[in-house]
Structure formats: C-alpha cells, structure tokens
Structure 1
Amino acid sequence: MSYAVTARAALFTLATALTLSPPAQAAVSADCTESSITLPPGALYPNGIARAADGTLYVGLITSGNVLRKRPGKAWETFFPGADTVFASNALRLDERRGLLWGNSPDFLSGGKARANRIYALNVADGTLNRSLALPAGEMGNDIVLGADGTVYVTETRGGGILRLRPGETAFSTLYRDPQLAAPSGLGAAGIVLLDDRLMAVANFGTGKLYTLSYNDPKPQLTEMQLPRLIENPDGMGLAPDGALIVLENGILSGQGRILRIPSPKAAGMHQLEVLREGMESPVNLTITPQGCAFVSESRIRHRLLPGHETEVPDSFRLYQLPLPLTAAQ
C-alpha cells in the first residue's frame, strides 16, 4: 500500500460490534508451515511481495526502490537496486509467462517535492528495468493485480479509481472512478484482486469498506460488500485456491494488524469475517501459492505515521508464511 497520510488522517470510526467467525478447517500441503522469515539488515519497511513457481521470493520496500530476491536454499540478494524513476517498490506482482515483475513506485514520506508516481516492470531474466510509466499528475497508485492476458490493473488511491494498462498500450487509462473508492484521508482504493473474469474486489483503506466491481462490463457496477463491521484499514488482498478472499487489516490506529478470511466473497448478503492471525504490525501485502500457502509482508511502518514516534525504527523486519484454511469446495 502507499502511505501518503498522517495518523490523524487515517482514523475512522469503527463499528462497535466485532462479529468474528472461527476459521475453516485447514487442508494445505505439509510443505507449508507457519513460520517467519527475517529480512537482511537495512531492508526496512517491506511491502511488495511475489513468489515464483520454483519458490523464489521477491520483496520490495516502501521507502526504497530496492527489490530483494531469495532463491530456495540461498541467502537474500539484491535483485534490482532501484533507479531514478524507481524510488519505492510496493505491490510486486509476478507475470512469469511474460517474464516481468511489476511494481508500484509512489513518492511519499519524502519530506520534499513529491516525484511522479510510476508503475514499473522488471525483466525477471536479468533484473533490468523493462519499462517505467508515469501516472498523471496528482494520481497515486496503491496496489496491483494482473489479468491472465497480461493486463495490469492498479488502484488509484487519491481519486478513488481503477487504472488499466492492456498489452501493447503505452500509458494507463482510467477504467473506473467513484467517490466511494476515495476517502477524506486521501488514501482510498487499496487492495485489489480478481475474483473471476467478471468481478474484482477492491478495498478502501480509509473507510474500512470492501467492494466488488464488474470490471469487464461496458459500464462497470460497484457494489459494497456487507460486512459485520468495518475493517480497520483494509490493505493488501489475495484469492485463496478455494475462492476465499484474504484481507490484510493494517490497523494503523489500534496497532492490531490481522489476516482476515471471507469465505464466499461473490455471494450476496452478509459475509463472515474469519481471523486467521492477530497481533501483526501493519501487514500490507501478500502472495498466495496455488496450494494455499500465503506469504505476508509486515511493514512495521506504523511508527512513521504516529506523531512523536517517527524515529523509533524497528530493529528487524519479517515476512510471514502460513497455510490458509481451505474448504471442501476447493
């Protein structure tokens, strides 16, 4: 996610009723065990995370354009050192078929004149920059999802919209924009995931609401998902193999980050919120394997948004691996 807000701007009133359901029974490969992975010294505020089919992990950082890589059984290494146009490495998404690693580079917490937000792609073969596309002035990308045909979808967090780049195009266009995807804090549309070839799910970080959007319709329709409570800063999202929606609850105000599960996100009516993990510090992004193993980046950047705590940099940063509960439908 992109953090272009202060702690005060991120506040919103949570529903008092906290209705939670126990998670479904787990049924994941024994190769996926709940564990954590410590990042190397100097790798601050992880955000973007992607995993290749061979188990290689790629991790991006919120305040640096560096992209780290960890091959199975190997130590962490610098895959891409950043560039003049790549000064952050958020929301990494891997397109293995086309050999590209997409990322988002917003300029925030810089303390100076903000540079234009760019969406970039790296060549997986050699870690070189394939392209770097500037977004229109004033727009800020947040999260990314890739279509099967290589189309890139980006949440535009300031204006509350969805941007799209189809194969062969050289610039992003606005697919959809709606005030419901904006927020008074200036940080609205965040996590995004394709539920199928017709519907996508979109999170509003500032309001705590989730939506579905019929993104392939000539006139896309936005529908609010009915939830038992508001989610405190819903951030990165992913789709489990059984069709469940996995949502990261960032928890800027409370400091209580969670991993949530919504069993049937396309169904009508009230949805269940299952808590898979609690006590995390600003979980921001994730990637999920076809077998249902989730890898989550814990940014620990909350202190940068709380007045008086800006210099309290954590001494270490981690990724978390956990098996997702899968229903019999999978």
Structure 2
Amino acid sequence: MRTAEKSSALSHATSRLRYMKILTICTLLVAFNVTANGMNILTLTADEQQITLSKKVPYPNGISHDKHGALYVGSVVNGNIVKISSSGEQTIFHSDSDEIFSGTSLRYDPLTDILWVASPNFFGISNAQKSTALKNNRISAIQLSSRQLIKQWLIPDGGFGNDIALDTAGGVYVTDSTKDRVYHLKSVTSEFTHFLNSKLFTAGRIGPAGIAVLPNSDLIIGLYSEGTLVRATIDKEGDKPAFSQLNLQRRLENPDGLYPLPNGRLLVLEVAPISGNGRLSIIDLLARPPYPVTTIVNDLASPLNLTLRNNELFITESRIRHLLLPDDKSPEPDMFFIKRVNLQALL
C-alpha cells in the first residue's frame, strides 16, 4: 500500500478501529506461586523469548494453533496468515485475497480440520478510482490440510463479527459487537442462526466481544464497553439460553479475549485503552460470588487474543492506542511480536 493510500485508509478506518482490534505480539515467561488462598506473581524472568513476525503480517490479531503445535497468526490489515512451526520457522499459510482480507480471530478445530477466520474490513479496499470502499464482514472456513477455502458467510445485517469460539461439535459461535448478538454455525453446511440477543448486551456501544465455551457448554461473553461478563446457560431441551451477569469483585477494563481452563478458571484479557495498562487476569468461576479477579500479568499493550498450547499461553498485543486516542503521541509500531506466558502452575 502506497503512503498516500495508507494515510487515507487509516483516516477512513479510525472510527471502525475504535470497535476492535489490531495487534502485536511478544514473548516472555512468568513464574507463579500458587497457595491455598490463590495466586501471586513471583517474577517475570529475565529469559525473554520474542518471536518477531514477518513483515507480511503487520498488526497481527487472531491467533490459534494446530494439533502439531504450529501457531497461526492473522493480520487486521491484510489476509495473510503466517504459520509458525514448533521450531520457529515462519511461512505464509494463506495469502491476502479478495475473499480473506483480514484475520482478526482465528480458531482451529481438530475435529473437522477447519481453521475458522473472522475478516472484518477496517481499512477498506481501494478501487481503480482511488476511492475506498468497505467490504462486507465475513467468517471463512479453511481446511487446514489442503489450505482450501471451503465456505464463507457474510455477517448478517452489516454487523461486526468480532470473536469466534468452537462449540465442541464441529460448529462455532460468533460475537457481533455492533448488532449486539451472538450467532451460531452448526457446521460448514449450515447458515447463521441468531443464537443470543439479550437486554444485558449494550446496544449503541461496543457490546459482545470475547467469547468462550466452558467445559459444561455454558457460554461466557465479554461486554467490552460495560466491562462485565455474561453467562448463557443452555438447557438439555435446547430452549432459549438463560442469561445472567457474573458478579465480579471488580469491573473489567474492556474485556476481549477469553479462554476457559479445565479447572473452572477463566482467562481474560483486559484491553484497557484508556489507562494503557493491559492485563492478563484469571477468574475462578468455582468460587463464591463475587468472583475474584486476579491479575497475572500487567503492562500489556492492548492485549486482544490468545491461544493455549500445552502449558504455554500465547497472547497478541495490539499497541493500538495511538489510533484510538487523539492525544496519544506513541509512534506507529514497525515490528510485531508474540508474548508467551508459562501457565504450568495454574493448570
């Protein structure tokens, strides 16, 4: 993209970027002390490990991993998806195209060999007349083994497909942050159904963002602007889910990426664009309400998405504040990384 075109695209996209994510990634190991009363951070070790990403994947966002341990990272500004092998080698798994033009959420399902990709169109596509047009936000299904695009779905009513969670049965849930909905795709042969739509969602603000499916099949949805979490419980008869807002010890600062642990705890990324103190926090959902919110890592630069590979958590940092805050003087980042946190003591 030429400099002039990039400036125009950035200007055009700033308001849309307020709704969402871009990101940067960097890696470091965290040591914990787990006691009967909870968790305490001991130290961030001096042994930092950084994965510097290919320049073909600027502003990385979505992140997932396959059953062989390879990471997949998508970009908010193009459709390139980089594959990082367990040995650290980087190759372009999918190249930018008219069909997949960004990758803000990636989820690999080993049951179906499908890599699910969310492609919201922040920056617009420049046409021959030099004008910028927005493409319809969409969800794509790529068969990992063949790299073939199987199918695409447009987000209904011009909504904003934000995050994706696997439903454990071959389908996915998708949050829509502007239409305040959660959609369900039962399989690659299905179409979107309006799965959730509640007054607990925040119409007119940035609503449902991160989403996670708990081991008991309950859904946890993060409300970005409200700083709260909502639980949706699905009964065995398949009736409409019952909603409840989680009673937390403190309000979250713009929750986004969520990840459920098998021991009843929930990992939450707090983007915190106003304070600038992005955090990785953990919530014990088996405790008595109000549920304790324990910060594990501070000072993350607008963390947005995450994936857990064995005992290691990989977090994407966006450093997006210079686009969100008019008075922010931070320089535009020119390198992007992945942050890794060792969670062995918490699992």
Give TM-score scaled by structure 2 length.
Answer: 0.81
Task: Work out the percentage of aligned pairs sharing the same amino acid.
Answer: 31
Task: Give the AA of the match of 1:62.
Answer: V
Q: Quick one: structure 1 residues 198 and 298, their matched pair in 2 at CA, closer, same or farther if it must change by over 3 Å? A: same
Residue 77 in structure 1 maps to residue 96 in structure 2 = no
- CA shift for structure 1 position 197: 3.6
Structure 1 unaligned residues grouped into runs of 5+: 11-20, 27-32
Q: Quick one: structure 1 residues 325 and 182, their matched pair in 2 at CA, closer, same or farther if it must change by over 3 Å? A: farther
Partner of 1:299: 318
Residue 196 in structure 1 maps to residue 215 in structure 2 = yes
Larger Rg: 2
Q: How far does the alpha carbon of each residue in 1:36-63 deviate from its partner, in whole angstroms, 9 at most, with x for none? A: 3221234222111111222201001112
Q: Of the candidates 225, 236, 248, which is equivalent to residue 257 of structure 2? A: 236
Task: Give the AA of the match of 1:67.
Answer: I
Whether the 8 Å contact between 2:175 and 2:209 is mirrored in structure 1 is: yes
- Give the stretch that moved more between structures: 301-310 or 80-89: 301-310
Partner of 1:285: 305
Residue 255 in structure 1 maps to residue 269 in structure 2 = no
The structure whose RCO (Cα within 8 Å, separation 6+) is larger is 1
Task: Give the AA of the match of 2:222.
Answer: A
Structure 2 unaligned residues grouped into runs of 5+: 1-12, 22-34, 42-46, 126-131
Cα distance in 1 for residues equivalent to 2:151 and 2:161: 16
- CA shift for structure 1 position 74: 4.3
Cα distance in 2 for residues equivalent to 1:126 and 1:138: 30
- CA shift for structure 1 position 135: 1.5
Cα distance in 2 for residues equivalent to 1:287 and 1:3: 27
Q: How far does the alpha carbon of each residue in 1:95-121 deviate from its partner, in whole angstroms, 9 at most, with x for none? A: 122111001011124394322110001
Task: Give the AA of the match of 2:50.
Answer: S
Partner of 2:341: 322
Partner of 1:270: 290
Whether the 8 Å contact between 1:165 and 1:172 is mirrored in structure 2 is: yes
Whether the 8 Å contact between 1:4 and 1:109 is mirrored in structure 2 is: no
Q: Quick one: structure 1 residues 171 and 310, their matched pair in 2 at CA, closer, same or farther if it must change by over 3 Å? A: farther
Partner of 1:24: 39
Residue 54 in structure 1 maps to residue 68 in structure 2 = yes
Q: Of the candidates 130, 138, 143, which is equivalent to residue 123 of structure 1? A: 143
SS in 2 for 1:65: coil
Partner of 1:213: 232
Cα distance in 2 for residues equivalent to 1:25 and 1:129: 44
**Matched ranges for 1:303-314 at <5 A:** 303-307=322-326, 312-314=331-333
Cα distance in 1 for residues equivalent to 2:157 and 2:117: 18
Q: Quick one: structure 1 residues 109 and 230, their matched pair in 2 at CA, closer, same or farther if it must change by over 3 Å? A: farther
Task: Give the AA of the match of 2:106.
Answer: L
Cα distance in 1 for residues equivalent to 2:19 and 2:162: 20
Give TM-score scaled by structure 1 length.
Answer: 0.84
Task: Give the AA of the match of 1:313.
Answer: E
SS in 1 for 2:200: helix
Residue 159 in structure 1 maps to residue 179 in structure 2 = yes
Count of paired positions? 308
SS in 2 for 1:133: strand
